[in-house]
Structure 1
C-alpha cells in the first residue's frame, strides 16, 4: 500500500509537471514520466493495486490534459495511447523477465531502453497518424516530439523507479539521512545555479556533483540526483529563460538539447553507480568467501589436530604393550637354554612385532604427508655408500626367498651430495620391500646412475624385479593411498601406504617417481632427484668397542615391565643400572649420584618426563649435566621436539630396538647435556 501511495503521488505530480511546464510548440510534453511510473506499478503491484493505480492514471491524465486546454477528443486520444504504451511495456517486462526487471548491472541498464524504445516508437506512430488525419497536426514533427517525449520518459524514469524500489540498492549504501539531504540539496543548488539565466555558470558543472551523489549514495542517489536535475532544468529551459540550452536557436533545438542533456547525465551517473555497486558486491562476496575460507581452514586445522592427537594416543597405547612383547622376545632370544623350535617361535614373535612397528611408522608418516609436515634434513651424503648399506640390509630377506639381489652403480664422479639420507633410505627400503614381497622367483636388481651436471647432478635409482608385474590399467592406482597391493593383485600384508609415502617424499625433494611394468615379467620402479655436490665431511670417530661399555645409568619408567626390559638390556651390555619408578624418585637419585646417562620415560603420574628433565637440569654439576635420552612411545615430530626443548639429548621410540638402544647410549655416554644447538 505504501508503494501504491508513492507511485500515485509521483504519477499525479509527473502528469501535471509535464503538461503544464514542458510542452513544445506542437502541444506535446518534452519529458513524460507518467507512462514509466504506471508501467513500473503494473510490474511490481498486486492485481488489485494495479486497478487502483490504473484508475488514478486515467482520471488525472484526463484532468491534466483538459486543464491545459486540450479538447475532450484529444485528451481521450492521449489517455488511450499512453495507457496502451504502459500496458505494452508491462507485457514486455513479463515476456522477457517474468517479473520486475532488476537494474543492477550495466547490461540491464542497456537492455531496458532497447526494449521500451520500440514500444514508444509504435505509440508515437499511432498518435501522430491520428493527430495528422483528424486534427491537422504536422505528421513528422508530431511523430518526433511524441517519440522523444515517450522514449525519454521510459528510458530515464522506468529504470530510476525500479532502482528506487529495489531493496538491494537501499541496503547497498548505508549513508546517514543528513548526508543524503546535504548531497541532494547540493545537486539542486548547483543545477539551479547552472540553469538560472543570470548566473552564467555552464551546465557541465552539474556533472561533478551528480557523480559525487552517485558515488556516495549508489544507484538510488544517482536516480534521485538525475530526477532533481530534470525537474529543475526542464521548466527553466522550456520557458526560454536560459540561453545555455539553445533557446536562442529556437524552441525545437531547445527541446532537443534539454532531452539529450537529461539522457546523458542520467546514464553517466547511473552507469558509474552500477559499476561501483558491482565492485562493492564483489568486495562483500570476497569478504564473505574469505570469512568462509577462514572458518573452513579453522575447522580443517581442528580436525587435523584432533586426528593427530588421536594418532598420537593410539600410537602410544599400541607401542607401550608392544614394547613389552618385543622386549621380552629379544631377551628370550638371548637365552642359551631354548630349544630350536622355541627359538624359531620367539624369532617369529620378534618378526611379527617388527612388522607391526613398520605399520605404525607408515601410518604416522602418512599423517605427516597429509598434514604437509614433511621436513627434510639434507646433509653431505655419499649416495653410493648409502645405497650399498640399504641393499645389504635387505639382502637377508631376499636370500630367505631364494632371490638374487644385485647392485649396479654407474657413478663417474664419486661426489658427495646434499641429500636427506634417512628419507632417501626410506624410499629405497620401501621399493625393495615391495620387490621382495611380490617376487617369488628370479632376481632383484638395484641400479644407481649419477649423471654430473653444471650446478646439480641427476641421480636415478631403479629397482628391477622379476615378479608378478602390474597391468597397465592398474598402474594408475600405484602411489595412491592403500592402492599398491590392490594394483598388484595381492592381499595386503601392510598398510598399503609405502608407495604413497615414497611419492610424497620424492615430491618434497623436487624429484619424480614412476614405474614400468609388464604382467608376468616384472616391474621397474624408479625415481630421479637433482642434488647439489658438496664437500665431504670428516668421518666420525668410531664408537667404543662393545667390551668398553661401562658406566652408571639411571632408567626411569613407571611401567614395571618396561622398566625391567630396559634395565635388563642395559645390564646385559655391561652397564651399572639404577632404576626409578617415578619422576620424583628419579630426581632424588640424580641429586645424589652423577650418572653417565639417564633413560627417561615421558608419561608418568604426578610429574612427567619433561618436568623431571628440567628439574635435573637445574641441579648443580656434575649431577645436572648427565645426558638424558627420552625412551617413550610418543613418536610424533612435535612430541620429539618437546623432548629436545626440555633439555634431552636424544629420543628412542618404543618399542625399543636393542641395536638402536645400544648405539644411542654409546653415542651419548659421558657426553654432558643438553643437546647442542
Structure 2
C-alpha cells in the first residue's frame, strides 16, 4: 500500500513539474512577445506566480529543476526580444528572487502549501504577495534608472502593475486549479465546460479586438455563469482566459476597447484593473459556491456516518435484546424447577425439622438468585433504552393492595404487620403503566420486608386531585434500622448498597433502586427516601397521571372461588407441569393438562374451564398461536381468561402475549404467592375479554 502511494505521488510530482515548466516557458514567450510596452516591460507577467507555485508544491529535486528551466528560458527569451545582457540578468534575478520570497513568506504563514478555499485566504495571499512585488519593482526600477537612464516612476509603476497582476490573478488561480478539494466539486460534463470556456474566449475576442464591439463589461455575466456552473476552478479558468486574450489585444491593438480617448498607458492600466476585478468577483462567487458544496458534502457524509452508526447501534441493540431474551429464558427455566420443587417440599408436613430448614434455605437462595437475575436483566433493558411505557386505565389503590398482598406472606413469616392505607377522594382510574409501577412498588416492599427485623410496614397511597392531572404519592414506611444521611445519596446509584463491606448482612446486586429510579423518571415522576437511623425509613414515589375512562366491558363472568376453579395448565416441560399442578391443587383447584398448543385448543373447545395457564414455547403450536385460536372459538370458550406462564419475561415478549389475547403474565420461575394472587384476581373479579 505504501509503495503504491509512493508511486502515485511520484507520478503526480512529475506531472506538476512538466505542466509548470511548460506553462512558465509559454508565459515568458507570451509576455515578452505580446505584451511589452514601449519601455520594454511586459504588461502581464504570470511567470513569477507559476514559479512560486512550483516552489510551494514540488519536492526539493524538482524545485531545483524548475528553477533551472526558469533561468535558462528567461535569459533565452530576453535575448530573443533584444534585451542587453545586463537587463536580461537583472530581470531574471529579480523575478527568481520575487518567486522565492513569495514562497518563503507563504510557507511561514500557512506552514505548508497555501490553500485558496475562502475569500479570507484569497485576501491573505494577495496581502502577502503585493508588498513583495512592490519591493522587486522598486529594485528593478532603481537599476533601470541608474544604469540605463529610464524614467524611474514609469518603470516602477509598469513593473509593479505587471507583477501585481500576475501575482493577484495567476497565483491564486493556479492554486485553485491544482487543489484536489476544488477538483471534487462541481462535476459537469466535458461538453458544458468546453462550451462555457470557449464562449468566454470568443466574447473576449469580440470585445477587445480592434474591430470588435468594444463593450468588455459584457464578459461579466458569462464569467459569473461559468463560476456558478463550474465553481472556483471555472472562475480561475475564465480569468486566465480573459487576461491572456485581452492584454495582447490592448497592447498591440490600435483601438480602445473601452472607447475612451486615453493614452496607451492609461488603457493598459484600465485593462489590468478590469482583469483584476473580474477575477476577484468571479472567484469570490466560485469560492462561496465551493464552500457551500463542501458543507453539503460534509453534511451528507455525516448523515451517512450517522445512518451507519444508527444501523450498527440498532443491530447491537437487537443482538443484545436477543441475548437478553435467550439468557432470561434459559436461566428462568431451571430456576422454575428449583424454586417450584423447593416450595412443594416446604409445604409437606412429613419433613423432619433439619430437612425443612434445608429446603427453606434452598428456596431462600433461589429467590435471591432470581432477584439478582431480574435486576440484571431489567437494568440492561433500562440502559439500552428498551423500556417503553404501556399506559392503561389503572386503579392505583387496587394496584397497591395487590402488591401488598403478594408480599404479605413474607411479612407474616417474619412476624411483621403489613398495613395498607388509601387516601383517595376521587376514587378514579388513572393512565398508568401498571406493570412497571407494580415492579417499583414490589421492589420497595421487598426491601422493607428484607431490612425490617421487627415492627410494621405501612403502605400508603395519597391522591391529590389537580386541574389536568392528579398527583399520586405512594409511601412505603418501615420500622427498620434506618439509613444514615451520608449514605442516602448512594441508594439510587447502580451497584451501590448502604453496606458494601465484606461483612455485610444482606446480599444483592445493588440494582433494584437504580432500576426503580429509572422507571419512575421514565414515568415523569420522582422517587426518594426519608430516613432516620434507628427509627426506620420511608421510601416514596410521586407521579402525575390524568384521570382515565374505564375500558368498555364486553362481557362479565360470575366470580369463581379458587377452590372450585377448573384450570387448564398448558406446558411442554414435564417438571413445569408437575410443579404447576401441585401448586394449583394445594390451592384447591381442579387441573387438567395439555402438552402443546394444539392440545390446549382441543381441550378448550370441549371443556368448560375457568382459566387457562399457557406456556409460550411449545412444539406443534406455540402459546401465542394457541391463544389466538382459542379466541376464535365460539363463546363461551373464547372468553376464558388466558394467562401466560412463561420464562419469556422481557417487556416486548410480554406485550406479544397481550397482543395475542392473553389477559396477564406470570414469569417463571413461578412464585407461589404471585401465582395465587393472579389466579385469585382473575377468578374473583369481573373479567373483561376484549
TM-score bin (small chain): 0.7 to 0.9
The residue number in structure 2 matching 1:127 is: 140
Is 1:369 aligned to 2:382, yes or no?
yes
The residue number in structure 1 matching 2:337 is: 324
- Tell me the TM-score normalised to structure 1 length: 0.86
Is 1:544 aligned to 2:559, yes or no?
yes
From the superposition, tell whether residues 669 and 434 of structure 1 become closer, same or farther in structure 2 (CA, over 3 Å).
Answer: closer
**3-state SS of paired residue (2:261):** helix
**Separation in structure 2 between the aligned mates of residue 624 and residue 386 of structure 1, nearest angstrom:** 27
- Tell me the TM-score normalised to structure 2 length: 0.84
**Separation in structure 2 between the aligned mates of residue 405 and residue 632 of structure 1, nearest angstrom:** 30
| Partners of 1:629 and 1:650 within 8 A in 2 | yes
**3-state SS of paired residue (1:579):** strand
**Separation in structure 2 between the aligned mates of residue 117 and residue 419 of structure 1, nearest angstrom:** 75
From the superposition, tell whether residues 449 and 653 of structure 1 become closer, same or farther in structure 2 (CA, over 3 Å).
Answer: closer
The residue number in structure 2 matching 1:640 is: 654
**Separation in structure 1 between the aligned mates of residue 396 and residue 635 of structure 2, nearest angstrom:** 42
The residue number in structure 2 matching 1:301 is: 314
The residue number in structure 2 matching 1:223 is: 236
Is 1:107 aligned to 2:91, yes or no?
no
**3-state SS of paired residue (2:543):** strand
Where structure 1 has 5 or more consecutive residues not aligned to the other structure, the ranges are: none
| Partners of 1:117 and 1:151 within 8 A in 2 | yes
How many angstroms does 1:582 deviate by?
4.1
From the superposition, tell whether residues 405 and 550 of structure 1 become closer, same or farther in structure 2 (CA, over 3 Å).
Answer: closer
Q: Pick which of 648-657 and 560-569 moved more.
A: 648-657
Where structure 2 has 5 or more consecutive residues not aligned to the other structure, the ranges are: 1-13
The residue number in structure 1 matching 2:4 is: none
What are the Cα deviations for residues 521-563 of structure 1, in whole angstroms up to 9, with x where unaligned?
8766554333334578999989836366243x43332221111
From the superposition, tell whether residues 247 and 50 of structure 1 become closer, same or farther in structure 2 (CA, over 3 Å).
Answer: farther
From the superposition, tell whether residues 609 and 335 of structure 1 become closer, same or farther in structure 2 (CA, over 3 Å).
Answer: same
**Separation in structure 2 between the aligned mates of residue 588 and residue 408 of structure 1, nearest angstrom:** 46
**3-state SS of paired residue (1:555):** strand
| Partners of 1:210 and 1:222 within 8 A in 2 | yes
**Separation in structure 2 between the aligned mates of residue 338 and residue 64 of structure 1, nearest angstrom:** 119
Match of 1:528 among 533, 539, 542: 542
The residue number in structure 2 matching 1:76 is: 89
From the superposition, tell whether residues 418 and 514 of structure 1 become closer, same or farther in structure 2 (CA, over 3 Å).
Answer: same
**Separation in structure 2 between the aligned mates of residue 388 and residue 587 of structure 1, nearest angstrom:** 34
How many angstroms does 1:37 deviate by?
0.9
The residue number in structure 2 matching 1:577 is: 591
How many angstroms does 1:126 deviate by?
0.9
How many angstroms does 1:593 deviate by?
4.9
How many angstroms does 1:591 deviate by?
6.3
The residue number in structure 1 matching 2:57 is: 44
Is 1:359 aligned to 2:372, yes or no?
yes
Is 1:280 aligned to 2:293, yes or no?
yes
Is 1:232 aligned to 2:245, yes or no?
yes
The residue number in structure 1 matching 2:570 is: 556
Q: Pick which of 81-90 and 62-71 moved more.
A: 62-71
**3-state SS of paired residue (2:373):** helix
Q: Pick which of 580-589 and 370-379 moved more.
A: 580-589
| Partners of 2:562 and 2:680 within 8 A in 1 | no
| Partners of 1:25 and 1:251 within 8 A in 2 | no
How many angstroms does 1:356 deviate by?
3.2
Match of 2:109 among 96, 99, 110: 96
From the superposition, tell whether residues 212 and 26 of structure 1 become closer, same or farther in structure 2 (CA, over 3 Å).
Answer: same
The residue number in structure 2 matching 1:270 is: 283
From the superposition, tell whether residues 434 and 545 of structure 1 become closer, same or farther in structure 2 (CA, over 3 Å).
Answer: same
The residue number in structure 1 matching 2:618 is: 604
Count, aligned residues:
674
What are the Cα deviations for residues 478-510 of structure 1, in whole angstroms up to 9, with x where unaligned?
533323457799577223222221222222222
From the superposition, tell whether residues 578 and 450 of structure 1 become closer, same or farther in structure 2 (CA, over 3 Å).
Answer: closer
The residue number in structure 1 matching 2:522 is: 508
**3-state SS of paired residue (2:103):** helix
**Separation in structure 1 between the aligned mates of residue 197 and residue 292 of structure 2, nearest angstrom:** 23
From the superposition, tell whether residues 247 and 41 of structure 1 become closer, same or farther in structure 2 (CA, over 3 Å).
Answer: farther
Structural RMSD (CA): 4.0
The residue number in structure 2 matching 1:245 is: 258
Q: Pick which of 68-77 and 656-665 moved more.
A: 656-665
**Separation in structure 1 between the aligned mates of residue 283 and residue 294 of structure 2, nearest angstrom:** 16
The residue number in structure 2 matching 1:32 is: 45
Q: Pick which of 297-306 and 433-442 moved more.
A: 433-442
Is 1:212 aligned to 2:225, yes or no?
yes
**Separation in structure 2 between the aligned mates of residue 586 and residue 653 of structure 1, nearest angstrom:** 20
How many angstroms does 1:85 deviate by?
0.8
How many angstroms does 1:461 deviate by?
5.0
**Separation in structure 2 between the aligned mates of residue 547 and residue 461 of structure 1, nearest angstrom:** 30
**Separation in structure 2 between the aligned mates of residue 203 and residue 195 of structure 1, nearest angstrom:** 7
| Partners of 1:207 and 1:265 within 8 A in 2 | yes
- Once the two structures are superposed, the pairs formed by residues 620-639 of structure 1 within 5 Å of their partners are 628-639=642-653
The residue number in structure 1 matching 2:7 is: none
**Separation in structure 1 between the aligned mates of residue 681 and residue 411 of structure 2, nearest angstrom:** 31
How many angstroms does 1:198 deviate by?
4.6
**Separation in structure 2 between the aligned mates of residue 420 and residue 556 of structure 1, nearest angstrom:** 28
| Partners of 2:235 and 2:282 within 8 A in 1 | yes
**Separation in structure 1 between the aligned mates of residue 568 and residue 399 of structure 2, nearest angstrom:** 35
- Once the two structures are superposed, the pairs formed by residues 113-192 of structure 1 within 5 Å of their partners are 113-192=126-205
Q: Pick which of 368-377 and 78-87 moved more.
A: 368-377
The residue number in structure 2 matching 1:195 is: 208
The residue number in structure 1 matching 2:8 is: none
The residue number in structure 2 matching 1:54 is: 67
Match of 1:290 among 295, 300, 303: 303
What are the Cα deviations for residues 370-419 of structure 1, in whole angstroms up to 9, with x where unaligned?
23232323345555665566567667767877888888888777766443
From the superposition, tell whether residues 612 and 512 of structure 1 become closer, same or farther in structure 2 (CA, over 3 Å).
Answer: closer
**3-state SS of paired residue (2:568):** strand
**Separation in structure 2 between the aligned mates of residue 606 and residue 334 of structure 1, nearest angstrom:** 35
| Partners of 1:544 and 1:666 within 8 A in 2 | no
**Separation in structure 1 between the aligned mates of residue 459 and residue 608 of structure 2, nearest angstrom:** 49
From the superposition, tell whether residues 545 and 368 of structure 1 become closer, same or farther in structure 2 (CA, over 3 Å).
Answer: same
From the superposition, tell whether residues 488 and 622 of structure 1 become closer, same or farther in structure 2 (CA, over 3 Å).
Answer: same
How many angstroms does 1:455 deviate by?
2.8
The residue number in structure 1 matching 2:581 is: 567
Match of 2:665 among 645, 651, 654: 651
**Separation in structure 2 between the aligned mates of residue 426 and residue 151 of structure 1, nearest angstrom:** 80
